[in-house]
Each structure stands twice: as structure tokens, then as C-alpha cells.
Amino acid sequence: MSELERLATRLREAGPIAIAVSGGIDSMTLAYVAHRTSPGTRMYHALSPAVPTQATDRVKHYAAIENWSLALIDAGEIADPRYTSNPVNRCYFCKTNLYDTVVANTSLPVASGTNTDDLGDYRPGLIAADEHRVRHPFVEAGIDKRGIRSIASELGLDDLKDLPASPCLSSRITTGIAIDPALLPVINEIEQRLWTLVPVALSPTSIRCRIRPNEVALEIETTCDIDEDAVWAIAARDMTADQLIKADFRDLAHRIVIEPYRRGSAFLVDAVEVMA
């Protein structure tokens, strides 16, 4: 039985569900299959400065062409000081606010796009999911990220199957630095512009604009060496400084570096320490 068949079987057994759709490949693929498998399924997408505008646009686009039942909600995490203080378990407070809001707006079982690869990471959001009895159909069907991309490819969802991972924009800010909602769309704009500046020859697969205590780091995932003196690199630093100054974050523009991508580098506390 293929990944798609296993997922469809689980969704048929579950019946209509309420899916928290972020706009990334996982929740989007789940929503696509669930809508076609279990009529009555409803999608919930949180509007927030922490959610990239392109993710929201993607959700709205699919809802329109697939005739999803979609509710746009304000989960309220930006108004929660437990979240904006940016502790290492920030995601717990984000998901708590999200699931509180979804549960308050539906009687359907709530589901997420969590997959089996996520279970090996430190993900405090999963604790919030457990507390709200959120289902994880991909996990129930034994499907990992590679399997999700395979499902998207099989369904002809070409705009989804190669989407790079893109956690919320708050994840770009180093743990302990308070989250300024006005900075989040600036980070997103810088990252989108970087995709156009980094040479195709570098074959970038992930790009992050990291806010650190004493610098801004532009992290690029590539198998090639990064020449910080290359024309594109100079242009990238200049662009970043211009965007920060334009948005009145001049104090962040004094030191901008370009480095190889490091997954989760905004977290200062080791996951093992947190869980101990």
C-alpha cells in the first residue's frame, strides 16, 4: 500500500476533521487529501506577523480552487507575553494559543501535519497538541517528510512537492531576544529577496535571516563554498542593511554576516537540557 493509500485510509476512518493549516507542504498536503477523502473537513489558518505572507496566500489560493471550507483566525500568540518573551519552549505557547482558538471554533477533531520525522526533534508544540488531543494523520499512517513529498508529487502538486521547510518567522530570532512583531515581516522580506540574489549555481535549498544579540546572520544551505566577498554576497548584505534601516531597525544593521545554514541555530539552550 502506497503512502497516499495509507493516508487516505486513515482519513476515511477518521471522518471529517479540523486541520490547522500553516501553508507549508505538510499541512497543505494533508488538507488537500482530507478534503477529497472526508467531505466536511474544515481548514483553519492563523493570520499572524509570524506567518509568511506567501504561506497565507498559498492557503487562500488552494481554498479558492479546491473549494475548501476555510476559516482565517487570529490565534492571539502575539498578545501572549509567554510567547513574545521568546523562551526555548516558545512553540508550546504558540500551539497552545492556536489549538485553543481552533477548538473554540469547531466540534470536529483537530489534526495537524506533524510527520514521523518530527517525533525525533525537540518540539514543545507537540506537548500542546497532546493536551488538546490533536491527531497526527501522517504519524498514524507512518509517513515521514519524504513520504509527504512523494504524495504531493503523485497528486501533481508541483508547487508543494519541493517547498523548502519554513518554520514560523519567530524561529529566526535567537532564544531570549524578545519578539518584535514589526520585525517579523522585515525578516520575511529579506529572505525572499535573498532567494533572488543567491546565484542559481549555489543551488540553495534553505535561506534564513537570523537575528542574534550582536549581529544578523544570513544563513544559506548549499553544498558549495560561500565567498563572502563575491558580488552577490556584498549585494545581499547591503540589501539586508537597507531593509532593516528602512523599517527603523537601524541598530540591527551594524554587523551582517553570511554563513552556512545551521538547522535550529537560533536556539541557545540545548534540547537535552530543556527536557532534563
In a domain, 276, yes or no: no
130 and 251, same domain (yes or no): no
- Whole-angstrom CA distances from 38 to 19, 68, 99 are 12, 12, 21
Per residue in 173-209, pLDDT tens? 999 999 999 999 999 999 999 999 999 999 999 999 9
Cell output for 222: 548549499
148 and 203, same domain (yes or no): no
pLDDT score of 270: 46
The distance of Cα 23 from the centroid of its chain, to the nearest Å, equals 8
The span from the first CA to the last CA of the chain, in angstroms, equals: 39
55 and 103, same domain (yes or no): yes
* Model confidence at 231: pLDDT above 80: yes
- Whole-angstrom CA distances from 136 to 26, 58, 119, 128, 253 are 11, 22, 11, 13, 41
Range of the domain at 193: 169-260
Residues 6+ away with beta carbon under 8 Å from 211: 172, 173, 174, 177, 183, 187, 252, 266
Per residue in 92-102, pLDDT tens? 999 999 999 99
pLDDT score of 234: 97
The pairs formed by 270-274 with CB atoms below 8 angstroms and a separation of 24 or more are 271/121, 271/122, 274/88, 274/89, 274/122, 274/124
Per residue in 147-158, pLDDT tens? 999 999 999 999
Place of cell 498559498: 58
122 and 235, same domain (yes or no): no
180 and 233, same domain (yes or no): yes
Cell output for 163: 517547498
CATH number at residue 149: 3.40.50.620
123 and 175, same domain (yes or no): no
> In a 3-state reduction of DSSP, which class is residue 87?
coil
Per residue in 68-93, pLDDT tens? 999 999 999 999 999 999 999 999 99
In a domain, 267, yes or no: no
52 and 115, same domain (yes or no): yes
The pairs formed by 15-18 with CB atoms below 8 angstroms and a separation of 24 or more are 15/40, 16/40, 16/41, 16/42, 16/108, 17/41, 17/42, 17/108, 17/109, 17/110, 17/111, 17/135, 17/137, 18/42, 18/43, 18/44, 18/102, 18/106, 18/108, 18/109, 18/110, 18/111
213 and 83, same domain (yes or no): no
Per residue in 42-62, pLDDT tens? 999 999 999 999 999 999 999
pLDDT score of 149: 97
CA proximity to 109, closest of 8, 60, 40, 24:
40
In a domain, 149, yes or no: yes
CATH number at residue 213: 3.30.70
CA proximity to 183, closest of 231, 122, 85, 252:
252
Q: How many Cβ atoms from other residues are within 10 Å of residue 203's Cβ?
A: 11
